[in-house]
Homo-oligomer: A and B are copies of this chain.
Amino acid sequence: MTAQTMHPDGTAGVVGLVGLGLIGGSLGLDLRARGWDVRGLVRRESTAERASQRGLAGRVSTDPSVLAGCRLVVLALPLDQLLAPDPALLAALPPDAVITDVGSVKAPVLRTWQGIVPRFVASHPMAGTAEAGVEAGVRHLFRGRPWVVTPTPDTDPAALELVRTLSEAVEARWLLCDPQAHDRAVALISHLPVLVGAALLQAADRGAVAAPASGDGQAGYEQVDTEARALVRALASSGFADTTRVGGGNPELGALMARCNREQLLAALASYRRSLDQLEGLLQQERWADLREALAAGQRLRPEFL
């Protein structure tokens, strides 16, 4: 960190958090525990009150002027709000402040923000729980988790250093990458699994009654649809539960990610289809040794992703 960005007290100076949900609230708790001067901007009075009680920031307000004097502002907002920023928020951002965000898709955020503020750094701290809202913030959410930043040639190096100070204060792992590469990677490992799991849930529901009978092994009693649907539910075990966990998650979030990362998600789907086509081909052609080898390749790959 350069002298230019380091505040005399060793912190990043006054930090503003826009939004005090899971990410903003967790940042506030960690930073305040380290003695940082934290301001919070929220939309609702009731949220401001509860955030103050929880100590998520030293000062919390619904008035954007609470950001005056901040050297660093973290936009801890959902992607849709990041991509259509509130004019009152824009007007309140100190002109020389470093602005960063926490959005899970980076190219569209950069397209929006690099034209608006001079010192923008695109961040994606990759941490989370299933919780949301003012009660969700917890200590140590970011400890050991990646804090991905996607600088461009236009990114101010001193601004980047200030965000790095922030990531270190919450004990995250600093990870630099290209914005496109980031968006492609999260499409594959975060957004594609949502569609894959959702499709599996639908197939398990619909496929129970859609498959053609092949005529042998008949039990001599009528198999009605409701029985077939009950059976797949009765037989589903932990493997099915795991495979569909993210596919059965928050639909608002899933649809928002898909909307904001549409191109990369379509490319990821195309790649996935090629893999699935190949496996299906082996099954159709009864190439059992090749199918076993393809599954063995997956078994070898998986630990690399854990």
Contact = CB atoms under 8 A, between A and B. Distances in A.
B153 A220 contact: yes
A255 B185 contact: no
Interface in A147-176: 148, 150-153, 175
Q: Which of A190, A218, A231, A269 has the most CB of B within 10 A?
A: A231
A177 B189 CA distance: 38
A286 interface: yes
Given A208-B185, A252-B292, A190 B239 contact: yes
A90 B272 CA distance: 45
A217 B286 CA distance: 45
A179 B295 contact: no
A258 B302 contact: no
Interface string A189-204: 1101111111111111
A214 to B, nearest CB: 6
Given A193-B200, A245-B243, A286-B259, A179 B217 contact: yes
Contact of A198 (B228, B245, B295): B295
Interface in A229-271: 231-237, 239-252, 254-255, 258-259, 262-269, 271
Given A189-B236, A248-B298, A248-B301, 16 more contacts: A111-B216, A111-B217, A180-B213, A182-B235, A185-B228, A185-B231, A189-B232, A196-B243, A197-B243, A199-B272, A202-B301, A206-B271, A211-B264, A239-B246, A258-B288, A259-B288
9 contacts: A107-B216, A110-B217, A180-B213, A189-B237, A195-B280, A196-B243, A198-B294, A198-B298, A206-B271
